[in-house]
Amino acid sequence: MPRALLITCVWLALTAAAGAAEPIVYTLGFADAQNSYVDVEARLPIEGRTELEVMMAVWTPGSYLVREYARHVEQVRAESETGQALQLVKTRKNRWRISALGGASAVVLRYKVYGREMSVRTNWVERDFALINGAPTFVTLADDSGPRPHEIHIRRPEGWSAAHTALPPVEGEADRFRAPDYDTLVDSPILLGSPRTAQFEVGGKPHLLVDDGGGDVWNTEQAAADVQRIIETQQAFWGSVPYDRYTILNVIHEARGGLEHLSSTVVMASRWHQRLRPRYLQWLRLVSHEYFHTWNVKRLRPVELGPFDYERENHTRSLWIAEGVTSYYDALLLHRSGLSTVDEYLGMLSDRVQAVQRTPGRAIRSLELASFDAWIRYYRRDENSVNTDMSYYDKGAAVAWLLDARIRAATRGKKSLDDVMRAAYDRFSGERGFRTEAFYALASEIAGVDLGPWFEAHAGGTDELDYGPALKWLGLRFAPSEEAPDRGWLGIDTAYSGGRLRVAEVLRGGPAWQAGLNPDDELVAIEGYRLGPDLGQRLQQYRPGTRVELLVSRRQRMVTLPVVLGPPPTAPVIEFDPDASKVAVGRRAAWLATPEADPKRSNK
């Protein structure tokens, strides 16, 4: 065969094979929604196999913990298309094998999924609405190597007005959606119920805010107007819009959290929070955070985060770039949108710095190690986490701020972290991904200086952060600390319930740590006097440096512990430096991108 013809034939055979992947078709039923169940029927093509193995993901992208979704799956059974029962065995914690297929052309797998965990990475099903996430709901063929379409048909209960998802609808069909592959299916949550919606256009693309549960308390129009400003600012920041339409699924059912997806996000809120300025600001910041992920992590990702292995942990040292840098920009871009005052913005930045400085674990776990260990630590906090962990969100945001200032100083204000993020997106987005060192090298390239040692210290190391240069360059300062409160401090966190004051955390190196007080000790008395729920009030009776006797109950045994009270630590608060030079004031204004930067400016 002539070479050209051979190539054509091979190409035709390959495209025929690629086009041959039949879809898996799921039908979701909600007959048992009032008991928190969704009924799943999956029609699985056989395509010549003698047996089928299906798997369910054990985790969901964006939330780095093995969650064992299969534990909510029950009553699994398989039939041929003609209704004949097929042999089915469980082969792993998250896999099932269907064999003795006979001459069947497809397998119909039926199972029930229990959904009663109100979070952005799990399912919730009840009488009036449901949040369906892909990973905890849909099985797929375990041996698939290429893309296979996954189609969803929804039997929507009569009282529910709509099903919302970023998945494109099957043309002309109500409640039918089609994902081009399993990744997109997992990345496209579905909100079903009777939500209120608001649509608006930014960058020539439609955006839909879907509010479920806000009742007559939550103002959808106001929320949509504010979200639109966030989206406008971020599209201008990145200079591109990488989706056809974007959906914000806002679950207003007294829960918290947010999770980024390819062309959508799920955020959770309390309906009452829109009326409380600090809480509403948190919600806006959450939307800003998840929307920033549309670029940073969903498309510009550490190389280890794709293609995903859905059946085990996917470790990376760069989660701090994915989450910390995003946490820096969520507040900064909210401010550049005009949705926060300067005071509010500096308050949010101060919160990050304070979170770093009050966590003893900052001396133990670097940003890169905290990133790598996310799977075994971040979502599994315990009483000692504060001493041994450092959040890659908080320290990541603080380090991103210092990096931004470092680049601005190195380039005399010509470049910033903004430029690094855009260049990283140009260079590494899509299939390619970035290695941690490649991101650092790119930052050096933009800064025009070798930032290698800087990253080694700030991201790879655990030395104390030096905020001085950033504060100085940006015309800021830590507010002069007022006289230290003249009251004693133990360095513990407590919980009060059932009339008992219990130690929840003991801060490494603090007075209580040195005295040998332990988590779960019940604090009974100080200096022979019974303690009530308010420990802080009692400690006001003693000066720092005073030696007191603590009486604690440790598993019913009374223990006396002498402890020398310390002074309470002061929390750094960032503010405008009144002595900043005119040049520094200009640099500060460029950073905040508010020409009339004025600390008293308010948008309330």
Nearer to Zn ion, 326 or 444 (CB): 326
> If we measure between CA atoms, which residue out of 210, 299, 298 comes closest to residue 259?
298
- Helix, strand or coil, per DSSP, at residue 78: strand
Question: Which residues have CB under 8 Å from 122's CB, separation 6+?
Answer: 67, 69, 115, 133, 136
**Cβ 316 to Zn ion shortest distance, Å:** 14
Helix (H) / strand (E) element for 42: namely strand 37-45
**Cβ 547 to Zn ion shortest distance, Å:** 46
Q: Give, in order, the Cα–Cα distances in Å from 169 to each of 27, 164, 323, 421.
A: 14, 10, 31, 33
- Token pair recorded at residue 308: 């995903």
Nearer to Zn ion, 151 or 323 (CB): 323
**Cβ 579 to Zn ion shortest distance, Å:** 37
Chain-centroid distance, C-alpha 13: 42
- What distance in Å separates the CA atoms of residue 277 and residue 440, rounded to the nearest whole number? 37
- What distance in Å separates the CA atoms of residue 226 and residue 112, rounded to the nearest whole number? 39
Buried b (16+ CB within 10 A) or exposed e, 34-67: eebbbbbbbbbbbeeeeebbbbbbbbbbbbbbbb
**Cβ 326 to Zn ion shortest distance, Å:** 5
Mind spelling out the 3-state secondary structure of 364-417?
Answer: CCCHHHHHHHHHCCCCCCCCCHHHHCCCCCHHHHHHHHHHHHHHHHHCCCCCCH
**Cβ 472 to Zn ion shortest distance, Å:** 30
Neighbouring CB atoms inside 10 A of 540's CB total 13
- What distance in Å separates the CA atoms of residue 293 and residue 287, rounded to the nearest whole number? 10
- What distance in Å separates the CA atoms of residue 593 and residue 360, rounded to the nearest whole number? 34
CA angle 360/468/474 to nearest 5° reads 125
Nearer to Zn ion, 266 or 551 (CB): 266
Nearer to Zn ion, 304 or 323 (CB): 323
Nearer to Zn ion, 137 or 296 (CB): 296
DSSP string, 546-579: -EEEEEEEETTEEEEEEEE-BPPPPPP-EEE-TT
Nearer to Zn ion, 61 or 433 (CB): 61
- What distance in Å separates the CA atoms of residue 69 and residue 186, rounded to the nearest whole number? 13
Nearer to Zn ion, 287 or 503 (CB): 287
Buried b (16+ CB within 10 A) or exposed e, 437-455: ebbbebbbebbeeebeebb
Nearer to Zn ion, 183 or 323 (CB): 323
**Cβ 292 to Zn ion shortest distance, Å:** 8
Nearer to Zn ion, 154 or 325 (CB): 325
- Bridge partner residues of 434 (DSSP): 302
DSSP string, 81-142: TTS-EEEEEEEETTEEEEE--TT-SEEEEEEEEE-B--STTS-EE-SS-EEE-STTT--EET
Nearer to Zn ion, 257 or 572 (CB): 257
**Cβ 426 to Zn ion shortest distance, Å:** 22
Question: Which residues have CB under 8 Å from 45's CB, separation 6+?
Answer: 22, 23, 24, 105, 106
**Cβ 285 to Zn ion shortest distance, Å:** 11
Mind spelling out the 3-state secondary structure of 248-291?
Answer: EEEECCCCCEEEECCCEEEEECCHHHHHCHHHHHHHHHHHHHHH
Question: Which residues have CB under 8 Å from 519's CB, separation 6+?
Answer: 383, 384, 503, 504, 505, 506
**Cβ 72 to Zn ion shortest distance, Å:** 24
Nearer to Zn ion, 212 or 323 (CB): 323
**Cβ 423 to Zn ion shortest distance, Å:** 21
Chain-centroid distance, C-alpha 266: 10
Q: Which residue is nearest to Zn ion (CB)?
A: 323
| Subset of 297-326 contacting Zn ion (CB under 5 A) | 323
**Cβ 259 to Zn ion shortest distance, Å:** 8
Nearer to Zn ion, 323 or 368 (CB): 323
Cis peptide bond N-terminal to 360, omega within 30: no
Interface with Zn ion: number of residues (CB under 5 A): 1
- Helix, strand or coil, per DSSP, at residue 296: strand
Nearer to Zn ion, 218 or 329 (CB): 329
Nearer to Zn ion, 37 or 59 (CB): 59
**Cβ 179 to Zn ion shortest distance, Å:** 23
**Cβ 293 to Zn ion shortest distance, Å:** 6
**Cβ 258 to Zn ion shortest distance, Å:** 7
| Subset of 319-378 contacting Zn ion (CB under 5 A) | 323
Binding mask 170-199 for Zn ion (x = CB under 5 A): ------------------------------
Binding site for Zn ion (CB under 5 A): 323
